[in-house]
Structure 1
Amino acid sequence: MELKAKLMSLNKASVTMQELRRLTGLNTDERLFPVVNEAVTSGLLKPFRNVTTNGNRLYPIYEKYHIVREKKDDTALLTAILKLHPLMQRNDYLKNHPTAFQEHQDTLEALSSWLFQNHSNPIAVSRKERSFEIFGAEKVLDDSSFKTLLNNMKINADTLCFYDTPAYCFHDYIPKLSNKMCLLICENKDIWFNLRKMLYEYRRNELWKTSLDGVIYGEGNRICEEGALTEYTRFLGVKNVQYLYWGDIDREGINIAIRLFQNNPDLEIVPFRAAYLQMLKRAKDCHIVFSDDTRERMEDYASFMASFETDEQTILYEKIQQNLHIPQEIISFAVLLDEMR
């Protein structure tokens, strides 16, 4: 029994005489022969054809043996698999891999029950919502091994009618979706909140002759993380979106805009020119402080400046060169009440 356990633990189909010596600890032919002979008699080992022995006439041991493994009776598993919903059997993966079914049997049977109960098209919900509905636990459909199994069975999000929520869920306010939209991204929370209030409470959506369909809080640097806005746009599902970006006039604020452009090359994103010009206009009558940005080197601002006239670029470059800070908050809610239509 000890030798059988050791042989079954080997991840191979054969074993040599030398390996048998190591497994048993029997270093002489005389001691090893009866153990190997018993294994051959019981059907555990089978000598290779055309393989020589050790040359010992009294205790002949072959140089190599097949390890004969017991065939599992999968009848019960196959019977259980045949009871599953037809969608789970369409490519016969489970029939060909009954041990995979055995490993996830309770979960797969729960899925089958759900499929039988939801034969018509259910309402699409999120991955975690569907997981809880089917299995009573919200993270089952996130499990990597179970996801691999479903993929092998050709069961996907469309089959189970769920969607993945985007990793980047920005705070937004969009009163109504349409095929063509202009959405304004704000670097800071106060101006986002004020614009949101103007849209839903005052029903005003035109600011400095620009019609806005919604407003998004960019959360500072978070908006410019690579692909974040692209993923948000995909989830939004709008065919034609133009983004306007509006942030502080300082090195960091403009750097955020530039990174936003660079990390989402397939999207149409430009600075909200009218807003920046209004900030510069109002800054003439205000005490403007220096930025706390200590970097010596200025970035390449060409992609940001391209939206402005030459004289406007000169003024912006001057403010940045001086390392000044003009915050979005210079456009207060009182200003919006006067300017927004």
Structure 2
Amino acid sequence: MKQVYDVLKSYKKQTLSLGTLETLLTPFVDSYESFSKMVLELESREVLLPIKSKGRTSRQLSLALGYRLNRQRLNDTVIDTLQHYRRMFHPAINLDDYYTKSKQVFEQDLEALIKIDQYLQTHGFPDSDQSSPEVSFLLMRDEKWLDEQGGRELLKRVRLYDQFNIRSVADPLSMAINPHQLTTSVHRHLIVENKATFHSLLPALVETNFSTLIYGQGKAILSSVSLFDDQFPVSGKHQFYYFGDIDREGIYIWHLLNQKRDMTLAVPFYQACLEKAQAKGKTHHQVREQALTDFLQVFDETSQHQIAAALNSRYYYPQEILTTEELQTIWRESRWDSLT
């Protein structure tokens, strides 16, 4: 491509016809198809700007009948620079993506690329999985580089991200512990989807026979639940209960979570919600029939019809429909052992 750029730089006029362009590029292509692909590539790089008034060919690879040369783009090319660093860098570093970008983009990334190259030349790729903070520190001496400073995108740009075997790190569980229940043989854990419900229930935790109250934080619980055993290393039997919004998203979260740990629906809370007036629902939630089917089978037939009818009519029951007093009373007074 460097030779193509050199030919275009030497062309004295500002505009050129498709025929002239074909003459100039003939030494670098072996067919009209390869010529067309090269011209379209130069278009995408904004080296060639189509003159709209001239129109385009009717072929499958449609080319403009006239082009204007973007000399700023021509002179801004990083080809020479990239070829220099391609020879110098570790062979795993793929610089192809920079050929379609301005010189400024490469210059902004260069300092980080040099550090990555120095690490690979000295150590090669890690033998085991590493967390993103670990990889960030290895490469940049800055544990936040990958997740907060664009490092993840840079590694993907140069085709290195998968080769570092970066292990995803779940956020810690947001969990409150009941000190009165730590020595029991059975530990009950209530997971609630939303923050407001967590705070409403929190004062009543010590008055229940539950060992923990966990804030699910929507879908975040799907990854953070993997840390439960590390964050609550208490021996005994563990029983999980889940309470979320009665909408398609809340039901789907429970469905996915139930595949990771046995997750009993906290039915007393749900039944109390069904006694309230439903709210106008969210229309963007996807329908997941298996999740809904699994959810409904826990309830009696009347409740099943009520839930299905509400969801089909774009209504739902949010957790917040219950007052703090109602939530706490239900938690304290329900017979939770009868649900498992």
Same fold (TM over 0.5): no
**TM-score range, shorter-chain basis?**
0.3 to 0.5
The higher relative CO (CA closer than 8 Å, separation ≥ 6) is in 1
TM-score, normalized by length of structure 2? 0.43
- When Rg is computed on C-alpha atoms for both structures, the one with the higher figure is 1
TM-score, normalized by length of structure 1? 0.43
